Structure 1
Amino acid sequence: MKQQDNYRFQVNLSGMINILSNHLYSSPKVFLRELLQNAVDAVTARKGMEHDYEGRIHIELAGTGSGATLMMEDNGIGLTEDDVHQFLAMIGQSSKRGKDLIMEETSFIGRFGIGLLSCFMVSDEIVMLTQSAKGGPSLEWKGKPDGTYSIRELETALSPGTRVYLRCKPGCEVYYETENVEKWLYDYGALLPYPIELRTERFEQVVNPAVPAWIAQPELARGQRNEVLRFGESLHGERFGDFIPLRTSSGRTGGIAYVLPQAVNLHAKKNHRVYLKHMLVSDQAENILPEWAFFVKGVIWSDELQPTASREHFYENEKLEEVRAELGESIRAELMRMAEYDPDRLRHMIQLHALSMKALAVEDGNFYRMIHRWLPFESTYGRRELGELIDDNPNLYFTATLDEYRQITHVAAAQSLLVVNGGYIYDAELMASLPAINAKVRTERLLPEDVSLTFTDITAEERMRYYELTRMADAALQRFRCRVQLKRFKPVELPALFTLSKESSEFRSLKAAEEASPDVLSSVLHSLGSSFNPEAAYSTLYLNLDNPVVARIFMPVNAGGLVNTVEMLYVNALMMGHYPLNRQEMSVLNQGILRLIEAGLAADAQKGGGPQ
């Protein structure tokens, strides 16, 4: 048998740098976060050895443009030569030893051993001076993006800690500009427990202020309202008017949910800032809070979630799901606390973010019970709070779709019939479940054909008088599968009302799809249409005999123009109900407009008013 040869994978480090720059990290600016992370971990490690020790991180910027250099120094645990070979020369080997670098619980931030490589995105060389707190010589390490590095012992002993020097890579000048470095250091390190000192040729200052006590204990934020709001503005860059403290039952995740000052779309992008072990992981985290909490922007810290290799997102696992649910419960509990102790504040929040509140109310019956009177709904009585509508009439009708509401709103309003528009997201569901949380209320879905039950029938004498004309009108609309009925109803200004049964609505949608489809699919849809009950798939056009125009149409002297006029009333009723017109109906509309123009021109000609 032929001998088997074994080989090792070869890593192209320059190719790896390209992957880091263009695929793993969102931006080269993360090199600052990676340097900060290494410094913080070094300080954390030394603090575990010396309990009276105080950590610090110092950054210096010198020069401008392509001649700029950046130095970051920490007084942490430092590295021995063995540490350098093991942790800086082996990709994937983290200095935070453990059985599972991803899932193991640790007090350190980094765990993948690739962070320092991110510096090659902005510098062609990394120079590091280090002195281990455990003893040994001071070392200089130089690394290049081609995968080579050198180590030499320094003649002068350094104090324990590490310094990293970077010189600006051509094209990367923006990452060495003072304003950017200052901003990014604050972004990444605003919650770090160690001071970050920045020195430039113009100033020296601590970038991150002392972390307030209410960060670790969010429930204390209620007593520091102005400070909390200012802090949110400094991080998110916008002014907020309210906030909600967040905390999980374990206390290992918490923060502040800032209430947005304006209403937002249900599908608006979520931009929560999440800090892992005090370091910013993402300023655009979308999955840390429940979907219904789109009315807040969070500043959230955690020490229990597992970051991805880029440390810009979290693994979607059971722990994240648990944390998300508990943070959602924290928001829910605070809103319910407001309902009991600060209703005016909650009422203002509901008026601004009604959609979010309705989304939560659908999920939680107890919350719905607490806040239902303040939820706004569109109705035939105007846009009102639900409590006001209940006080007016505890028996509420609602529609399930926006089209249904548009069909009946004029008729229902004219007859003082209270109907709630359930066509917007969550509204029909909330109206249907309202009796379950308020026993004094009754709700019922109203269909457009139900409104016709309130119409007044014409008399037997009128039925005989208009029988022949009604038959002609009915025959005119047969090709549209629509029947005509004469009624009297309010408002008198409305000449006609078009209504659809469930079957006729489905049939109409099928025909619309058939018109817009290719021949093969159109034939399939046509076959489906033949399965409908021909009697049930009819719509109804109610003509209002109290309307002066309709009354004139049904005079015997106007019988000649009846068909054309009824067809135009039919098309007008469709448009009033916001129904799309099919080809036949569009043709009727166009022909009717042309006849109207011709009639107008003929009348002008008879009066001698033709063109000169």
Structure 2
Amino acid sequence: MPTTPENFQVDLRGIVEILSHHLYSSPRVYVRELIQNARDAVVARGEDVPPIELVVDPAAGSLTVRDHGIGLTEADARSLLSTIGASSKREELAAARREFLGQFGIGLLSCFLVVDQIEVVSRSARDPQAPTMRWIGYGDGTFTVSPAEQPLEEPGTLVRVHARPDEAEWVGTDRVFRLAREFASLLAVPITFAVAGDPRPAVRVSGDPAPWDLPGKAAAAWCEDAFGFAPLASIPLDLPMLGIRGVTFVTGEATPGRGRAGDRVFSHGMSVASDNTQLVPEWVSFARVAIEAGSLSLTASRESLHESAALATAREELGHQVRAGIERLAAGDPEVFARFVDVHGQSLLALAVAHPEMLEFVARHLTWETSSGPLRLVEMPARITFTTQDRDFSSYAPIVQAQGDLLVNGAYTHGAAMLRAYDQAQSRLTAREFELTRLLENLPEPRGEDAALAERIGTVARGVLDAHGVAVDVRAFRPVSQLVLHVPGRAAGFVFEEVEDDPWADMLGGGAPREQEDPRPTLVLNLRAEAVRALGGTLAPATRDDAIRALHLLSLLQAGIRLQAEEQALLAGALQTLLLAAS
């Protein structure tokens, strides 16, 4: 029977443009969409039917998908695309595919990413006498519908696609098999894969047990195969009201700065994403998740989840379940939990910041670097200070320790935020951010005979360093190994307390005069150090002056400040003077 080409009642070229540039991330999804259509058709029929068959023909450059599902009538095939509407908008495609789930799906159009022609041969299961119809869609926006020359013996649908020459890889044997396994391995519907002309029997690509249903060793093996690592621990996930089930695999290695690697998400058994970050909170950076999304709706591309109140609720509850799993791990397997804390301490900090109820838990288990060695917050004294930069901790921890106080390194990601939150959440411990000016104020001043020596050394040092724009202060503090201390000036970004001027004070003659803060950086000399005390002795003036310059440059290096070329030359000259004086 001759056929006359008909036009799609849609802008097919516009749809293909959306598919290729805006909807789908890769042409690989066409395999998933063909399997999805076949699976939906089988489910819609609701009977025990033979497996869905995927057959690759390398010689013809084609893929054929045969199902024994509900099938199509000629009227079904003609009417389907007209229901999408003349506007090629992504939202309308999404609505249409939801409406026609289980029928000749919108996803079939994804085949146009790799082919110019789609052939559909189908026989409806609704009518035992239904004829077999043949539908062919073309990339130019036309299609034909006619009785099939070779009727199907059983109801169902056969879809055959021939790849364009430049897209031949997408119908290759290995490529189609890998994609079929990736997408369909957890589907309950039987699906087989075969190669045309190959005498070997078809291979089953579906029906694997879900990882959340596997026992420990088998689940760990699945994780290693899917995610590439052997899990340190696993945490089950279950939201029955939404049909969500899954398993969290905790990694045994830290991934600093990388954020979440993404999760393997399934929808009714079909794999829809391998790098999804929507279902589990961002702070779960120590794990990857395999999860069935249940009743959560998908976007039009079926590659991500539709943002909704249900998704937000699920994400929050899954976060609670992961958190509870960590607490169970701490109580039930201290050895594994200790490894977890050692590897994923930063993630615990993020957890505590996101969930204040976890602050005490982290305080009990996480070890901090302090001036007195590794300590947990519950082991620290009632008053502590913390730094927000590693450089400050390295520079000032020995001094703070020598004064009998405790300095905590809060420079880890989320470290300072966690300490501030903990300070507000309880009353046993007070945590304050480290302030260099306060440290300087609390350093002891020289007394007795040392006061005169300090004055003499200070006067000489100021005479040398004034030319370099550096102020001088002399204190006597421990440890004696700390010869000098650098205090940044206001120009270096250090913030001094500002007191607002009172215009009435000058007019009325009231108010005491204020001592002006010196805006310059300051060299603090430690009079307890023998090298500093020697500056007040009988050194030759040139040797003494270069020693003062060397001490100033040493303070910069200790503070992590890189010397400029002029300062490097000054240091070299000072060292030469000192070495010659010692020879």
Q: TM-score, normalised by structure 2?
A: 0.83
What's the CA shift for 1:317? 3.0
What letter matches 2:571 in structure 1? Answer: I
Q: 1:167 aligns with which of 162, 166, 174?
A: 162
Distance in 2 separating the partners of 1:440 and 1:105: 59
From the superposition, tell whether residues 293 and 343 of structure 1 become closer, same or farther in structure 2 (CA, over 3 Å): same
Residues 1:158 and 2:134 aligned together: no
Residue deviations 1:189-210 (CA, integer Å, cap 9, x gap): 1221212111122452111234
Q: Which residue of 2 aligns with 1:131?
A: 123
> What SS does the corresponding residue of 1:171 show, helix, strand or coil?
helix
Deviations 1:413-445 (A, max 9, x none): 556643211122222333344466776545444
How does 1:34-113 map onto structure 2 within 5 Å? 34-47=33-46, 52-54=47-49, 56-64=51-59, 67-88=60-81, 91=84, 102=94
Aligned partners of 1:598 and 1:479: how far apart in 2?
Answer: 21
Instruction: Pick one of 510, 525, 535 that aligns with 2:517.
Output: 535
Q: CA deviation at 1:483?
A: 3.2
The equivalent of 2:202 in structure 1 is 204
Alignment partner of 2:273 out of 282, 304, 312: 282
Shift of the alpha carbon at 1:391?
A: 4.0
SS in 2 for 1:316: coil
CA separation of 1:15/1:374 partners in 2, compared to 1, >3 Å: closer, same or farther?
same
Moved more, 148-157 or 592-601: 592-601
SS at match of 1:424: coil
Task: Measure the CA separation in 2 of the matches of 1:471 and 1:29.
Answer: 78
Which residue does 1:570 correspond to in 2? 552
Contact 1:253–1:302 (8 Å) recurs in 2: yes
Supply the distance in 1 between the matched residues of 2:431 and 2:48 (Cα, whole angstroms): 68
Conservation of the 8 A alpha-carbon contact between 1:571 and 1:588: no
**Residue identity opposite 1:154 in structure 2:** A
Is the 1:43–1:55 Cα contact (8 Å) retained in structure 2? no
The answer as to whether partners of 2:483 and 2:526 remain within 8 angstroms in 1 is yes
Residue by residue over 1:161-198, the C-alpha shift from the partner in whole angstroms, topping out at 9 and shown as x without a partner, is: 11111223202232122222121112111221212111
Q: Distance in 2 between matches of 1:11 and 1:101?
A: 11
Deviation at 1:342, TM superposition (A): 3.4
Q: What letter is aligned with 2:54? A: I
Per-residue CA deviations over 1:551-609 (Å, capped at 9, x if unaligned) read: 2223253444544433332232122112456xxxx3651331342476499889xx9xx
Secondary structure of the corresponding residue to residue 464 of structure 1: helix
**Cα distance in 2 between the residues matched to 1:534 and 1:195:** 84
Closer/same/farther in 2, CA of residues 111 and 543 from structure 1, 3 Å limit: farther
- Any idea what SS the aligned residue of 2:115 has? coil
Give the Cα separation in 2 of the matches to 1:404 and 1:107.
62
The alpha-carbon distance between structure 1 residues 63 and 401, as it changes in their structure 2 partners (threshold 3 A), is closer
Q: 1:180 to 1:462 in 2, by over 3 A?
A: same
Q: Deviations over 1:2-55 (max 9, x none)?
A: xxxxxx9996534543442243211111100110111121122112xxxx5347
Q: 1:301, CA displacement in angstroms?
A: 1.4
Which of 356, 363, 366 aligns to 2:357? It is 366
| Corresponding residue number in structure 1 for 2:526 | 544
Q: Which moved more, 1:595-604 or 1:320-329?
A: 595-604
Specify the SS of the correspondent of 2:220. helix
For residues 125 and 154 of structure 1, the distance between their equivalents in structure 2, rounded to whole angstroms, comes to 17
1:508 pairs with 2:498: no
Matches within 5 A, 1:514-533: none
Aligned mates of 2:368, 2:269 — CA distance in 1: 43
1:403–1:578 CA contact under 8 A, matched in 2: yes
Q: Check 1:269–1:548 CA distance in 2 against 1; reply closer, same or farther (3 A cut).
A: same
* C-alpha distance in 1 between matches for 2:161 and 2:37: 15
Any conservation in 2 of the 1:552–1:558 contact (CA below 8 Å)?
A: no
Contact 1:567 1:588 in 2 (8 A): no
**Aligned-residue CA RMSD in angstroms?**
3.6
Distance 1:327 1:601, change over 3 A: closer
Compare 285-294 and 443-452 and name the one that shifted more. 443-452
**Could you tell which deviates more after superposition, 164-173 or 290-299?**
164-173
Contact 1:486–1:542 under 8 Å retained in 2 = yes
Q: How big is the shift at 1:126?
A: 1.2
For the 8 Å contact 1:568–1:589, the answer to whether it is kept is no
1:415 to 1:467, Cα distance in 2 relative to 1, 3 A: closer
- In the alignment, the residues of structure 2 paired with residue 603 and residue 545 of structure 1 have an alpha-carbon distance, to the nearest angstrom, of 22
**CA pair 38-151 structure 1, distance change in 2 beyond 3 A:** same
One-letter amino acid matched to 1:139 = M
Take 2:449 and 2:159, find their aligned partners in 1: how far apart are those partners? 101
Deviations 1:285-332 (A, max 9, x none): 122211101111111211333322222122333232222111111111
CA spacing shift, 1:127–1:106, aligned 2, 3 Å: closer
**What residue ranges of structure 2 are gaps of 5+ in the alignment?**
1-6, 496-514
Cα pair 1:59 1:196 within 8 Å, conserved = yes
- Partner Cα separation in structure 2 for residue 92 and residue 242 of structure 1: 50
Corresponding position of 2:176: 181
Letter in structure 2 aligned against 1:428: A
Give the letter for the 1:57 counterpart: I
Gaps of 5+ in 1: 1-7, 94-98, 512-532, 608-612
Give the structure 1 partner of residue 483 of structure 2. Answer: 495
Q: 1:117, CA displacement in angstroms?
A: 1.6
* Matched residue, 1:5: none
Name 1:386's counterpart in structure 2.
376
CA contact (8 A) 2:453 2:536 kept: no
Give the residue type in structure 2 aligned to 1:541.
Answer: L
Are 1:143 and 2:137 matched, yes or no? yes
Secondary structure of the residue aligned to 1:250 is helix
CA 601–462 in structure 1, closer or farther in 2 if over 3 Å, else same: closer
TM-aligned CA deviation for residue 128 of structure 1: 1.3
> Cα offset for 1:450?
4.1
Q: 1:436 to 1:345 in 2, by over 3 A?
A: farther
Partner of residue 568, structure 2: 590
1:428 corresponds to which residue? 416
Alpha carbons 1:55, 1:76 under 8 Å: kept = no
Alpha-carbon contact 1:484-1:541 (below 8 Å) kept: yes
Q: Does 1:26 align with 2:25?
A: yes
More displaced 10-residue stretch of structure 1: 404-413 or 100-109: 100-109
- Mapping for residues 330-345 of structure 1, pairs under 5 Å: 330-345=321-336
Q: Distance in 2 between matches of 1:112 and 1:70?
A: 17
Count of aligned pairs: 550
Which one of 189, 192, 195 corresponds to residue 190 of structure 2? 195
Write the distance in 2 (CA, Å) between the matches of 1:68 and 1:314. 33
Note closer, same or farther for the CA distance 1:262–1:236 as it changes in structure 2 (3 Å cut): same
Distance in 2 of aligned mates of 1:152 and 1:258:
52
Aligned mate of 2:394, from 400, 403, 406: 406
SS at structure 2 position matched to 1:491: coil
Q: Is the CA contact (8 Å cut-off) linking 1:336 and 1:367 kept in structure 2?
A: no
1:385–1:487 distance in 2 versus 1, CA, 3 Å? closer
Q: Name the amino acid aligned to 1:204.
A: A
> Which residues in structure 2 correspond to 1:449-468 (within 5 Å)?
449-452=437-440, 455-468=443-456
* Counterpart code for 1:593: L
Distance 1:103 1:59, change over 3 A: closer
Q: What secondary structure does 2:284 align onto?
A: coil
The AA in structure 1 aligned to 2:29 is V
Contact 1:186-1:207 within 8 A present in 2 as well: yes
Q: CA offsets per residue over residues 483-523 of structure 1, 9 Å max, x none?
A: 322223333232101235xxx45x42289xxxxxxxxxxxx
- Aligned 8 A contact 2:547 2:574 in 1: no
| In 1: Cα distance, 2:17 partner to 2:54 partner | 26
Q: Distance in 1 between matches of 2:406 and 2:76?
A: 77
Question: Take 2:469 and 2:280, find their aligned partners in 1: how far apart are those partners?
Answer: 50
Written as runs of structure 1 = structure 2, the 5 A alignment for 1:435-454 is: 441-452=429-440
